[in-house]
Amino acid sequence: MANVVIVGTQWGDEGKGKVVDLLTDRADCVVRFQGGNNAGHTLVVQGQKYIFHLIPSGILHPGKVCMIGNGVVIDPAVLIHEIDKLNEAGNPVTPEKLVVSRYAHVIMPYHRAMDAARENRKGKTRIGTTGRGIGPCYEDKVSRNGIRIHDLFDPAVFRSKLDQVLEEKNFLLEHYFKEAPLEAGAIADEYLAYGERLAPFAGNVSERLQEADRQGKSLLFEGAQGTHLDIDHGTYPYVTSSNTVAGNACCGAGIGPVRIQKVIGIAKAYTTRVGGGPFPSEILDETGEYIRSVGGEFGATTGRPRRCGWLDTVVVKTSIRLNGLAGLVITKLDVLTGVPRLKIATGYQCGSMKLDSVPPELDALEACRPNYEELPGWEENITKVRNFSDLPENAKRYLLTIEELAGIPLYIISVGPGRDENIVLRNPFEDR
Ligand code: IMP
Protein backbone atom coordinates (compact mmCIF):
# COMPACT_ATOMS: atom_id res chain seq x y z
CA MET A 1 0.00 0.00 0.00
CA ALA A 2 1.25 3.48 -0.77
CA ASN A 3 0.08 7.06 -0.57
CA VAL A 4 0.54 8.89 -3.86
CA VAL A 5 0.24 12.53 -4.90
CA ILE A 6 -0.65 13.45 -8.49
CA VAL A 7 0.27 16.93 -9.72
CA GLY A 8 0.27 18.75 -13.03
CA THR A 9 3.74 19.60 -14.34
CA GLN A 10 2.69 22.41 -16.68
CA TRP A 11 0.02 25.15 -16.44
CA GLY A 12 -2.91 22.89 -15.62
CA ASP A 13 -5.27 20.91 -17.87
CA GLU A 14 -2.75 18.09 -18.19
CA GLY A 15 -5.47 15.43 -17.91
CA LYS A 16 -5.07 14.74 -14.19
CA GLY A 17 -8.74 13.81 -13.79
CA LYS A 18 -8.45 10.89 -16.16
CA VAL A 19 -5.25 9.64 -14.51
CA VAL A 20 -6.76 9.94 -11.03
CA ASP A 21 -9.80 8.02 -12.22
CA LEU A 22 -7.53 5.30 -13.61
CA LEU A 23 -5.40 5.05 -10.45
CA THR A 24 -8.42 5.09 -8.16
CA ASP A 25 -8.69 1.37 -8.90
CA ARG A 26 -5.72 0.89 -6.56
CA ALA A 27 -6.60 3.57 -4.00
CA ASP A 28 -9.10 3.59 -1.14
CA CYS A 29 -9.45 7.34 -0.70
CA VAL A 30 -9.10 10.17 -3.21
CA VAL A 31 -8.40 13.61 -1.80
CA ARG A 32 -8.46 17.14 -3.24
CA PHE A 33 -6.16 19.46 -1.29
CA GLN A 34 -6.13 22.88 -3.00
CA GLY A 35 -7.84 25.06 -5.56
CA GLY A 36 -11.56 25.17 -6.04
CA ASN A 37 -13.99 25.20 -8.91
CA ASN A 38 -11.41 26.94 -11.07
CA ALA A 39 -10.40 23.34 -11.86
CA GLY A 40 -12.28 21.31 -14.41
CA HIS A 41 -11.47 17.62 -14.50
CA THR A 42 -12.93 15.84 -17.50
CA LEU A 43 -13.56 12.09 -17.52
CA VAL A 44 -15.04 9.89 -20.21
CA VAL A 45 -16.46 6.67 -18.76
CA GLN A 46 -18.36 4.22 -20.98
CA GLY A 47 -18.79 6.96 -23.55
CA GLN A 48 -20.31 9.38 -21.03
CA LYS A 49 -18.47 12.63 -20.34
CA TYR A 50 -18.27 13.98 -16.80
CA ILE A 51 -16.71 17.28 -15.75
CA PHE A 52 -15.92 17.75 -12.07
CA HIS A 53 -14.86 21.06 -10.59
CA LEU A 54 -14.78 20.15 -6.91
CA ILE A 55 -15.61 16.52 -6.29
CA PRO A 56 -12.50 14.33 -6.60
CA SER A 57 -12.32 12.44 -9.87
CA GLY A 58 -12.47 9.09 -8.04
CA ILE A 59 -16.18 9.53 -7.29
CA LEU A 60 -17.27 7.25 -10.13
CA HIS A 61 -15.72 4.20 -8.44
CA PRO A 62 -17.98 2.31 -6.07
CA GLY A 63 -16.56 1.69 -2.60
CA LYS A 64 -14.00 4.53 -2.65
CA VAL A 65 -14.11 7.49 -0.31
CA CYS A 66 -13.59 10.96 -1.82
CA MET A 67 -12.49 13.80 0.39
CA ILE A 68 -12.23 17.56 -0.03
CA GLY A 69 -9.48 18.84 2.24
CA ASN A 70 -9.18 22.02 4.27
CA GLY A 71 -6.95 23.59 1.59
CA VAL A 72 -9.73 23.65 -1.01
CA VAL A 73 -11.96 26.71 -1.39
CA ILE A 74 -15.55 25.61 -1.83
CA ASP A 75 -18.36 27.28 -3.71
CA PRO A 76 -21.23 25.44 -2.02
CA ALA A 77 -23.67 25.96 -4.90
CA VAL A 78 -21.21 24.26 -7.28
CA LEU A 79 -20.58 21.38 -4.90
CA ILE A 80 -24.30 20.79 -4.37
CA HIS A 81 -24.88 20.95 -8.14
CA GLU A 82 -22.20 18.26 -8.69
CA ILE A 83 -23.73 16.06 -5.98
CA ASP A 84 -27.19 16.46 -7.54
CA LYS A 85 -25.94 15.73 -11.07
CA LEU A 86 -24.18 12.57 -9.91
CA ASN A 87 -27.29 11.44 -8.01
CA GLU A 88 -29.42 12.01 -11.12
CA ALA A 89 -26.97 10.04 -13.27
CA GLY A 90 -27.33 7.04 -10.96
CA ASN A 91 -24.09 7.53 -9.01
CA PRO A 92 -25.44 8.37 -5.56
CA VAL A 93 -23.15 10.61 -3.51
CA THR A 94 -23.64 9.64 0.11
CA PRO A 95 -21.81 10.86 3.24
CA GLU A 96 -20.02 7.49 3.20
CA LYS A 97 -18.59 8.36 -0.22
CA LEU A 98 -17.86 12.07 0.19
CA VAL A 99 -16.30 13.88 3.14
CA VAL A 100 -15.91 17.65 3.04
CA SER A 101 -13.52 19.30 5.48
CA ARG A 102 -15.25 21.43 8.09
CA TYR A 103 -12.24 23.74 7.83
CA ALA A 104 -12.32 24.43 4.10
CA HIS A 105 -13.06 28.07 3.26
CA VAL A 106 -16.26 29.06 1.52
CA ILE A 107 -16.36 31.11 -1.67
CA MET A 108 -18.89 33.89 -1.07
CA PRO A 109 -20.71 36.09 -3.62
CA TYR A 110 -18.42 39.02 -2.77
CA HIS A 111 -15.40 36.90 -3.71
CA ARG A 112 -16.78 36.40 -7.20
CA ALA A 113 -17.75 40.07 -7.43
CA MET A 114 -14.26 41.19 -6.37
CA ASP A 115 -12.57 38.73 -8.75
CA ALA A 116 -14.54 40.15 -11.70
CA ALA A 117 -14.22 43.79 -10.62
CA ARG A 118 -10.47 43.54 -10.11
CA GLU A 119 -9.91 41.86 -13.47
CA ASN A 120 -11.99 44.54 -15.22
CA ARG A 121 -10.01 47.27 -13.55
CA LYS A 122 -6.67 45.71 -14.53
CA GLY A 123 -7.52 45.94 -18.22
CA LYS A 124 -4.59 44.73 -20.33
CA THR A 125 -2.64 43.45 -17.31
CA ARG A 126 -5.48 41.17 -16.18
CA ILE A 127 -4.45 37.69 -15.03
CA GLY A 128 -7.26 36.01 -16.95
CA THR A 129 -8.68 34.36 -13.84
CA THR A 130 -11.54 31.89 -14.12
CA GLY A 131 -13.73 34.49 -12.36
CA ARG A 132 -14.80 31.99 -9.71
CA GLY A 133 -13.68 34.09 -6.73
CA ILE A 134 -10.74 31.82 -5.93
CA GLY A 135 -8.12 34.52 -5.28
CA PRO A 136 -10.35 36.75 -3.11
CA CYS A 137 -11.43 33.73 -1.05
CA TYR A 138 -7.81 32.73 -0.35
CA GLU A 139 -7.07 36.39 0.47
CA ASP A 140 -9.75 36.34 3.16
CA LYS A 141 -8.41 33.06 4.50
CA VAL A 142 -4.94 34.53 4.91
CA SER A 143 -6.20 37.83 6.32
CA ARG A 144 -8.34 35.83 8.81
CA ASN A 145 -11.62 37.14 7.46
CA GLY A 146 -12.72 33.87 5.93
CA ILE A 147 -15.90 31.91 6.43
CA ARG A 148 -15.39 28.17 6.77
CA ILE A 149 -17.73 25.28 6.09
CA HIS A 150 -18.53 24.80 9.80
CA ASP A 151 -19.64 28.44 10.02
CA LEU A 152 -22.53 27.57 7.70
CA PHE A 153 -23.99 25.34 10.42
CA ASP A 154 -24.40 28.09 13.02
CA PRO A 155 -26.76 30.89 11.86
CA ALA A 156 -25.71 33.37 14.58
CA VAL A 157 -21.97 32.92 14.04
CA PHE A 158 -22.41 32.97 10.29
CA ARG A 159 -24.45 36.19 10.31
CA SER A 160 -22.05 38.00 12.58
CA LYS A 161 -19.00 37.05 10.48
CA LEU A 162 -20.85 37.94 7.30
CA ASP A 163 -21.95 41.35 8.57
CA GLN A 164 -18.43 42.19 9.63
CA VAL A 165 -16.75 41.18 6.41
CA LEU A 166 -19.47 42.53 4.13
CA GLU A 167 -19.05 46.03 5.52
CA GLU A 168 -15.52 46.16 4.13
CA LYS A 169 -16.37 44.38 0.87
CA ASN A 170 -19.32 46.65 0.12
CA PHE A 171 -17.19 49.70 0.79
CA LEU A 172 -14.65 48.49 -1.76
CA LEU A 173 -17.27 47.36 -4.26
CA GLU A 174 -19.17 50.65 -4.15
CA HIS A 175 -16.48 53.25 -3.68
CA TYR A 176 -13.44 51.72 -5.33
CA PHE A 177 -14.79 49.38 -8.00
CA LYS A 178 -18.04 51.35 -8.61
CA GLU A 179 -20.10 48.17 -8.44
CA ALA A 180 -23.41 47.46 -6.70
CA PRO A 181 -23.17 46.50 -3.01
CA LEU A 182 -24.40 43.09 -1.81
CA GLU A 183 -27.16 42.46 0.68
CA ALA A 184 -26.37 40.43 3.81
CA GLY A 185 -29.88 39.03 4.39
CA ALA A 186 -30.14 37.43 0.95
CA ILE A 187 -26.65 35.96 1.25
CA ALA A 188 -27.39 34.56 4.70
CA ASP A 189 -30.62 32.87 3.54
CA GLU A 190 -28.86 31.32 0.56
CA TYR A 191 -25.74 30.15 2.38
CA LEU A 192 -27.45 28.79 5.48
CA ALA A 193 -29.59 26.66 3.17
CA TYR A 194 -26.38 25.37 1.55
CA GLY A 195 -25.12 24.60 5.04
CA GLU A 196 -28.14 22.40 5.70
CA ARG A 197 -27.50 20.47 2.49
CA LEU A 198 -23.78 20.04 3.16
CA ALA A 199 -23.91 19.27 6.89
CA PRO A 200 -24.14 15.47 6.45
CA PHE A 201 -20.94 15.50 4.38
CA ALA A 202 -18.85 17.67 6.72
CA GLY A 203 -16.11 16.01 8.72
CA ASN A 204 -12.52 16.08 9.84
CA VAL A 205 -10.59 15.02 6.74
CA SER A 206 -7.25 14.92 8.54
CA GLU A 207 -8.57 12.48 11.13
CA ARG A 208 -10.25 10.36 8.48
CA LEU A 209 -6.99 10.15 6.54
CA GLN A 210 -5.00 9.18 9.62
CA GLU A 211 -7.51 6.44 10.36
CA ALA A 212 -7.41 5.12 6.79
CA ASP A 213 -3.62 5.28 6.70
CA ARG A 214 -3.35 3.35 9.98
CA GLN A 215 -5.60 0.66 8.54
CA GLY A 216 -3.14 0.27 5.65
CA LYS A 217 -5.41 1.86 3.06
CA SER A 218 -3.99 3.68 0.05
CA LEU A 219 -4.52 7.40 -0.34
CA LEU A 220 -4.44 9.24 -3.64
CA PHE A 221 -4.05 13.03 -3.51
CA GLU A 222 -5.41 14.82 -6.56
CA GLY A 223 -3.70 18.11 -7.38
CA ALA A 224 -5.55 20.79 -9.31
CA GLN A 225 -4.09 23.34 -11.76
CA GLY A 226 -0.38 22.83 -12.48
CA THR A 227 3.02 23.45 -10.92
CA HIS A 228 3.67 26.61 -12.94
CA LEU A 229 0.42 28.13 -11.62
CA ASP A 230 1.70 27.74 -8.04
CA ILE A 231 1.39 30.98 -6.03
CA ASP A 232 5.03 30.74 -4.87
CA HIS A 233 6.80 28.78 -7.58
CA GLY A 234 4.77 29.62 -10.69
CA THR A 235 4.99 32.41 -13.23
CA TYR A 236 3.88 35.03 -10.70
CA PRO A 237 1.65 37.05 -10.93
CA TYR A 238 0.10 34.93 -13.71
CA VAL A 239 -0.70 32.14 -11.29
CA THR A 240 -3.56 30.85 -9.20
CA SER A 241 -3.85 31.69 -5.50
CA SER A 242 -2.90 28.36 -3.94
CA ASN A 243 0.20 26.18 -3.74
CA THR A 244 -0.27 23.61 -6.44
CA VAL A 245 2.94 21.71 -5.70
CA ALA A 246 2.92 18.31 -4.01
CA GLY A 247 4.11 19.67 -0.65
CA ASN A 248 0.73 21.31 -0.22
CA ALA A 249 -1.00 17.93 -0.19
CA CYS A 250 0.16 17.76 3.44
CA CYS A 251 -1.11 21.22 4.48
CA GLY A 252 -4.23 21.09 2.39
CA ALA A 253 -5.39 17.72 3.68
CA GLY A 254 -3.81 17.57 7.12
CA ILE A 255 -1.30 14.75 6.75
CA GLY A 256 2.42 14.61 7.58
CA PRO A 257 5.01 14.54 4.77
CA VAL A 258 6.45 11.17 5.79
CA ARG A 259 3.07 9.56 5.15
CA ILE A 260 3.47 10.21 1.41
CA GLN A 261 5.53 7.70 -0.52
CA LYS A 262 5.36 8.88 -4.08
CA VAL A 263 4.66 11.90 -6.27
CA ILE A 264 3.80 11.47 -9.95
CA GLY A 265 3.64 14.33 -12.43
CA ILE A 266 1.24 14.56 -15.33
CA ALA A 267 2.49 16.17 -18.54
CA LYS A 268 0.51 16.62 -21.70
CA ALA A 269 2.46 15.46 -24.80
CA TYR A 270 2.48 19.16 -25.74
CA THR A 271 1.81 22.21 -23.57
CA THR A 272 -1.24 24.41 -23.03
CA ARG A 273 -1.97 27.48 -20.97
CA VAL A 274 -5.20 29.42 -20.33
CA GLY A 275 -5.19 33.08 -19.41
CA GLY A 276 -2.28 35.52 -19.51
CA GLY A 277 1.40 35.05 -18.74
CA PRO A 278 4.61 33.95 -20.42
CA PHE A 279 4.64 30.75 -22.46
CA PRO A 280 8.04 30.23 -24.13
CA SER A 281 7.12 27.25 -26.35
CA GLU A 282 3.76 28.68 -27.52
CA ILE A 283 2.93 27.87 -31.17
CA LEU A 284 1.32 30.84 -32.85
CA ASP A 285 0.82 29.37 -36.34
CA GLU A 286 -1.57 26.85 -37.86
CA THR A 287 0.08 23.91 -36.04
CA GLY A 288 -1.10 25.51 -32.77
CA GLU A 289 -4.60 25.82 -34.24
CA TYR A 290 -4.48 22.18 -35.35
CA ILE A 291 -3.49 20.96 -31.87
CA ARG A 292 -6.20 23.13 -30.27
CA SER A 293 -8.90 21.73 -32.50
CA VAL A 294 -7.80 18.05 -32.46
CA GLY A 295 -7.07 18.17 -28.72
CA GLY A 296 -10.33 19.99 -27.91
CA GLU A 297 -8.24 22.55 -26.07
CA PHE A 298 -11.01 24.70 -24.67
CA GLY A 299 -11.32 25.26 -20.94
CA ALA A 300 -13.48 22.73 -19.07
CA THR A 301 -14.42 25.52 -16.65
CA THR A 302 -14.72 28.65 -18.77
CA GLY A 303 -14.77 27.32 -22.35
CA ARG A 304 -11.92 29.70 -23.25
CA PRO A 305 -9.57 28.54 -26.05
CA ARG A 306 -6.31 27.30 -24.55
CA ARG A 307 -3.00 28.57 -25.89
CA CYS A 308 -1.05 25.63 -27.33
CA GLY A 309 2.69 25.00 -27.54
CA TRP A 310 5.37 22.35 -27.86
CA LEU A 311 6.30 20.11 -24.97
CA ASP A 312 8.79 22.03 -22.87
CA THR A 313 11.15 19.89 -20.81
CA VAL A 314 12.49 22.98 -19.03
CA VAL A 315 9.00 23.42 -17.59
CA VAL A 316 8.75 19.70 -16.80
CA LYS A 317 12.22 19.48 -15.22
CA THR A 318 11.47 22.47 -13.01
CA SER A 319 8.37 20.58 -11.86
CA ILE A 320 10.42 17.48 -11.17
CA ARG A 321 12.54 19.57 -8.78
CA LEU A 322 9.64 21.40 -7.12
CA ASN A 323 7.57 18.28 -6.52
CA GLY A 324 10.18 15.56 -6.11
CA LEU A 325 8.60 13.59 -8.94
CA ALA A 326 9.29 9.87 -9.18
CA GLY A 327 7.83 9.55 -12.65
CA LEU A 328 5.71 11.04 -15.40
CA VAL A 329 2.41 10.24 -17.03
CA ILE A 330 2.21 11.54 -20.61
CA THR A 331 -1.32 12.37 -21.73
CA LYS A 332 -2.96 13.11 -25.09
CA LEU A 333 -0.19 11.56 -27.16
CA ASP A 334 -2.84 10.69 -29.77
CA VAL A 335 -3.46 14.42 -30.42
CA LEU A 336 -0.01 14.70 -32.01
CA THR A 337 -0.80 12.03 -34.61
CA GLY A 338 -0.49 13.61 -38.05
CA VAL A 339 1.79 16.50 -37.04
CA PRO A 340 4.69 15.92 -39.45
CA ARG A 341 7.54 17.44 -37.38
CA LEU A 342 7.46 17.62 -33.61
CA LYS A 343 9.54 19.86 -31.41
CA ILE A 344 10.58 19.48 -27.79
CA ALA A 345 12.05 22.46 -25.92
CA THR A 346 15.28 21.31 -24.30
CA GLY A 347 16.64 24.55 -22.79
CA TYR A 348 16.24 28.33 -22.93
CA GLN A 349 18.45 30.98 -24.45
CA CYS A 350 18.00 34.00 -22.24
CA GLY A 351 20.16 36.80 -23.66
CA SER A 352 23.68 35.43 -23.45
CA MET A 353 22.71 32.84 -20.84
CA LYS A 354 21.59 29.27 -21.34
CA LEU A 355 19.01 28.12 -18.76
CA ASP A 356 17.73 24.65 -17.98
CA SER A 357 15.07 25.63 -15.46
CA VAL A 358 12.27 28.22 -15.54
CA PRO A 359 13.55 31.55 -14.15
CA PRO A 360 11.20 32.88 -11.45
CA GLU A 361 11.36 36.49 -12.68
CA LEU A 362 8.70 37.31 -15.21
CA ASP A 363 10.94 39.62 -17.27
CA ALA A 364 13.64 36.97 -17.52
CA LEU A 365 11.17 34.31 -18.60
CA GLU A 366 9.57 36.60 -21.16
CA ALA A 367 13.00 37.14 -22.69
CA CYS A 368 13.71 33.39 -22.97
CA ARG A 369 13.71 31.66 -26.34
CA PRO A 370 13.54 27.86 -26.28
CA ASN A 371 16.10 25.65 -27.98
CA TYR A 372 14.32 22.78 -29.67
CA GLU A 373 15.04 19.20 -30.58
CA GLU A 374 13.10 18.27 -33.71
CA LEU A 375 11.69 14.81 -34.25
CA PRO A 376 9.66 13.18 -37.04
CA GLY A 377 5.96 12.61 -36.31
CA TRP A 378 3.74 9.58 -37.06
CA GLU A 379 0.56 9.09 -39.07
CA GLU A 380 -0.83 5.90 -37.56
CA ASN A 381 -3.88 5.96 -35.25
CA ILE A 382 -2.52 4.99 -31.82
CA THR A 383 -5.70 5.04 -29.75
CA LYS A 384 -5.99 1.25 -29.72
CA VAL A 385 -2.37 0.63 -28.75
CA ARG A 386 -1.98 -0.84 -25.24
CA ASN A 387 1.68 -1.95 -25.35
CA PHE A 388 4.62 0.36 -25.79
CA SER A 389 6.19 -2.00 -28.31
CA ASP A 390 3.16 -1.65 -30.61
CA LEU A 391 3.53 2.12 -30.98
CA PRO A 392 4.86 3.55 -34.26
CA GLU A 393 8.66 3.90 -34.15
CA ASN A 394 8.48 7.71 -34.21
CA ALA A 395 6.01 7.80 -31.29
CA LYS A 396 8.37 5.55 -29.30
CA ARG A 397 11.24 7.82 -30.17
CA TYR A 398 9.27 10.88 -29.07
CA LEU A 399 8.46 9.28 -25.69
CA LEU A 400 11.99 7.96 -25.12
CA THR A 401 13.37 11.43 -25.87
CA ILE A 402 11.06 12.92 -23.23
CA GLU A 403 12.12 10.25 -20.73
CA GLU A 404 15.78 10.85 -21.41
CA LEU A 405 15.50 14.64 -21.19
CA ALA A 406 13.39 14.45 -18.01
CA GLY A 407 15.67 11.90 -16.38
CA ILE A 408 12.77 10.07 -14.65
CA PRO A 409 10.73 7.10 -15.87
CA LEU A 410 7.44 7.23 -17.74
CA TYR A 411 4.64 5.44 -15.85
CA ILE A 412 1.61 5.69 -18.10
CA ILE A 413 0.93 6.96 -21.63
CA SER A 414 -2.62 8.09 -22.34
CA VAL A 415 -3.59 7.57 -25.99
CA GLY A 416 -7.24 8.66 -25.90
CA PRO A 417 -9.86 10.17 -23.60
CA GLY A 418 -11.48 6.85 -22.59
CA ARG A 419 -10.78 5.21 -19.25
CA ASP A 420 -9.05 2.23 -20.90
CA GLU A 421 -7.09 4.13 -23.57
CA ASN A 422 -3.70 3.86 -21.89
CA ILE A 423 -0.34 2.16 -22.08
CA VAL A 424 0.54 1.32 -18.48
CA LEU A 425 4.28 0.86 -18.02
CA ARG A 426 4.41 1.11 -14.21
CA ASN A 427 1.86 1.53 -11.45
CA PRO A 428 2.77 4.08 -8.78
CA PHE A 429 0.97 2.03 -6.12
CA GLU A 430 3.09 -1.03 -6.87
CA ASP A 431 6.74 -0.14 -7.46
CA ARG A 432 8.24 1.18 -4.26
P1 IMP B 1 -7.83 31.70 -10.83
O2 IMP B 1 -7.33 30.40 -10.29
O3 IMP B 1 -9.26 31.64 -11.28
O4 IMP B 1 -7.56 32.85 -9.90
O5 IMP B 1 -7.01 32.04 -12.17
C6 IMP B 1 -5.63 32.36 -12.16
C7 IMP B 1 -4.92 31.76 -13.37
O8 IMP B 1 -4.90 30.34 -13.25
C9 IMP B 1 -5.60 32.05 -14.71
O10 IMP B 1 -4.60 32.16 -15.72
C11 IMP B 1 -6.43 30.79 -14.96
O12 IMP B 1 -6.68 30.59 -16.34
C13 IMP B 1 -5.49 29.75 -14.40
N14 IMP B 1 -6.20 28.55 -13.95
C15 IMP B 1 -6.91 28.40 -12.82
N16 IMP B 1 -7.39 27.15 -12.73
C17 IMP B 1 -6.96 26.50 -13.81
C18 IMP B 1 -7.10 25.15 -14.26
O19 IMP B 1 -7.71 24.29 -13.61
N20 IMP B 1 -6.50 24.86 -15.44
C21 IMP B 1 -5.77 25.77 -16.13
N22 IMP B 1 -5.61 27.02 -15.76
C23 IMP B 1 -6.20 27.39 -14.59
Question: Which protein residue's CA is at the shortest distance from atom 11 of ligand 1?
Answer: 129
Which residues are CB-contacts of 273 (< 8 A; sequence separation ≥ 6)?
10, 11, 12, 279, 282, 306, 307, 309
**Quick check: 303 pLDDT over 90?**
no
Q: Which of the four pLDDT bands, split at 50, 70 and 90, describes residue 194?
A: very high
Percent of the chain residues topping a pLDDT of 70: 100
Residue 293 identity (one-letter amino acid): S
Mean pLDDT, residues 207-235:
97
pTM for this prediction: 0.96
What pLDDT, on a 0 to 100 scale, did the predictor assign at position 169? 97
Instruction: State the distance from the centre of ligand 1 to the C-alpha of 234, rounded, in angstroms.
Output: 12
The predicted-structure confidence for 46-94, as pLDDT tens digits, reads as follows 778 888 899 998 898 999 999 999 999 999 999 999 999 999 988 999 9
User: Active-site positions?
Assistant: 13, 41
Mean pLDDT, residues 401-419:
97
Distance CA 63, CA 66 (A): 10
The predicted-structure confidence for 225-282, as pLDDT tens digits, reads as follows 999 999 999 999 999 999 999 999 999 999 999 999 999 999 999 999 998 899 999 9
Instruction: State the distance from the centre of ligand 1 to the C-alpha of 228, rounded, in angstroms.
Output: 11
Instruction: State the distance from the centre of ligand 1 to the C-alpha of 14, rounded, in angstroms.
Output: 13
Instruction: State the distance from the centre of ligand 1 to the C-alpha of 275, rounded, in angstroms.
Output: 7
Q: With a 6 A CB cut-off, is 240 part of the ligand 1 pocket? A: yes
What pLDDT, on a 0 to 100 scale, did the predictor assign at position 432? 57
Burial of 315-338, coded b for 16+ CB within 10 Å and e otherwise, reads: bbbbbbebbebbbbbbbbbbbbbe
Average of per-residue pLDDT values in the chain: 95
What pLDDT, on a 0 to 100 scale, did the predictor assign at position 69? 98
Question: Which protein residue's CA is at the shortest distance from atom 21 of ligand 1?
Answer: 12
Mean pLDDT, residues 189-197:
98
Please report the atom of ligand 1 found closest to the CA of residue 131. Answer: 3
Mean pLDDT, residues 380-397:
98
Distance CA 288, CA 158 (A): 49
Q: With a 6 A CB cut-off, is 39 part of the ligand 1 pocket? A: yes
Lowest mean pLDDT segment, chosen from 14-18, 137-141, 329-333: 14-18
Percent of the chain residues topping a pLDDT of 90: 89
**Quick check: 305 pLDDT over 60?**
yes
φ and ψ at 326, to 5 degrees?
-90, -25
Domains for the chain: give ranges and CATH numbers: 4-103+201-263 (3.40.440.10), 105-198 (1.10.300.10), 266-424 (3.90.170.10)
**Quick check: 114 pLDDT over 80?**
yes
